[in-house]
Every structure is written in structure tokens, then in C-alpha cells.
Amino acid sequence: MPRTHGHSLVARSSFAAAIDTDRPLHEHAPSRGGPVEAAIGEQIAALIPDGATLQTGIGAIPDAVLERLMNKNDLGVHTEMFSDRMVDLVERGVVNNRCKKVYPGQLVTSFVIGSQRLFDFVDDNPQVIFLPSDITNDTNLLRKLDHLVAVNSALQIDLTGQVCADSLGHRIYSGIGGQMDFIRGAALSVGGLPIIALPSTAARGTVSRIVHELSPGAGVVTTRGHVHWVVTEYGAVNLHGLSLRQRGEALIGIAHPDFRAELRRQFHSVRQISL
């Protein structure tokens, strides 16, 4: 078990019982995305400036973004969690955390998921500090990090910008996580980039993730009032400050081409705009 720095100690008196075990930790191999994830990674990497502070999660899209940051300089990390691809950036000197105003010189996280290589990296590493999520996700703290880039995913987004990230209709798919915290924090950050990233389709290309309205029962994790950048493999648009009509047009422009005509017809029926 890695010994980590930060707020990582738990008093023995807090436990009712403890069991020794020699079972290995559960590992999660780095994701191997396809051309869709690669295209999304390229779009997002192009937005990230030198000196930015990163918040990313786990999965093919965050991994695709991190793989494409090798030519950046002086990046920092303040995130709820990170995985193996972040280690590559640290070892290449791309991530050094020296531009951060909060916890300068240190990589901040609440937990990690990855391979044994990642566990070995964080083990007794003073560069990495583990903090409770009420600190890592505190928007009052996040706003003090200049150029905070928050990359979060979605299951669906409607043509007004409402983001569903936790359910497929009424069926819960995952927890809401820290998406709301980091999207808001990045929006308050000087030069920050709040990003929602998603493939344009699901179910092997048969379903559009950009929809005229969310599925019945779908929960809105991030409101349209908080959404800024939305990225698919077909482009990146900034919805902040746009009218509902402008938002719909922008999102249709980054939807899969097979669904754009139908989305435009549905959009016309709701917004009474000309086709």
C-alpha cells in the first residue's frame, strides 16, 4: 500500500477492526482510445496554454488529452483524481507545478486509480499531496488557480447546453463526482477553461449524444448557465454568453453529421427558426 503525503493519516482509534492482507491492490490499465478520442484529445490540447493547471479524470478522453500535452511547458495539477498518463508528464518535466499560486510545486489530488507504476510513483513522493475532496473541490480555492483547465465528460447534452453526466434516463450510471465543482471553479479562474468533452455518438454510432432534449429521467449535473466549452471529435465551441438559438446552432455544428439534419428539424420545431 503506498504511503502518501498530505492529509493521509487516519488515527488507529477511528477503526472498529482491521485485517492484515497481502492481496495486491486493484489495478486499472491506461485507456487505449480510438480515433474519436484522439480527435477530442487534439481539440482540447490545442486550447490548453503553457502554465495551465489541469483537472482531469480517468478514461479514454482524459488519457487522450494528456498524451497530447508533451509539447507544453510548466503545467500544474490540482484534481480530484489522476491516473498513469499524468506520470508521463511529470517524468518528462511538462508538469512541474511551479506556476500554481495554491500549493506551488506540488501535485494535488484526493485519490488515484491506475497501475502499479502509478502506485509506485505516489509512494512516499513529497511532490504529490493527497487532500480531502472538500479541499481539492473547494471553488473558493479553485478560483485562485490561474488558467485552471477542467476536463469533464458527459453522457448527453441538449441543444441549450444542459449536461447529463450521471444517468441514462432514469437509470443511474455513475455519481456526479466533482464535475460541478471544477466547472464552476475553472469558470471563476483567471484564464480558466471549463470543458465538457464527449464523443458525438453512442451505441456504435446509432445514437447522438447531442440531443434536442434530455431523455426522460435524465439528471442535469451541470446547468446550461455554467457550461462554457463543449468538445466533440467534430470541434470545440464556447457557449458562454450565447443565446439559446446561438447555442443550438453551435452544438449542431459539432454533432455527428448523420444527426445534424434531424437535430436542426427538432431545433426548428422548438425555437421557430428557419431551416
Active site residues: 80
Distance CA 232, CA 128 (A): 31
Percent helix, strand, coil in the chain, to 5, is 30, 20, 50
147 phi and psi angles, rounded to 5 deg? 55, 45
* Residue tagged 466533440 (cell numbers): 232
33 phi and psi angles, rounded to 5 deg? -80, 170
DSSP 3-state of 6: strand
Cell numbers at 18, concatenated: 482491521
Distance CA 78, CA 82 (A): 9
Element (H, E) at 117: helix 116-122
Residues with Cβ within 8 Å of 42's Cβ and at least 6 positions away in sequence, in order, are 68
Q: Are 36 and 235 in contact (CB under 8 A)?
A: no
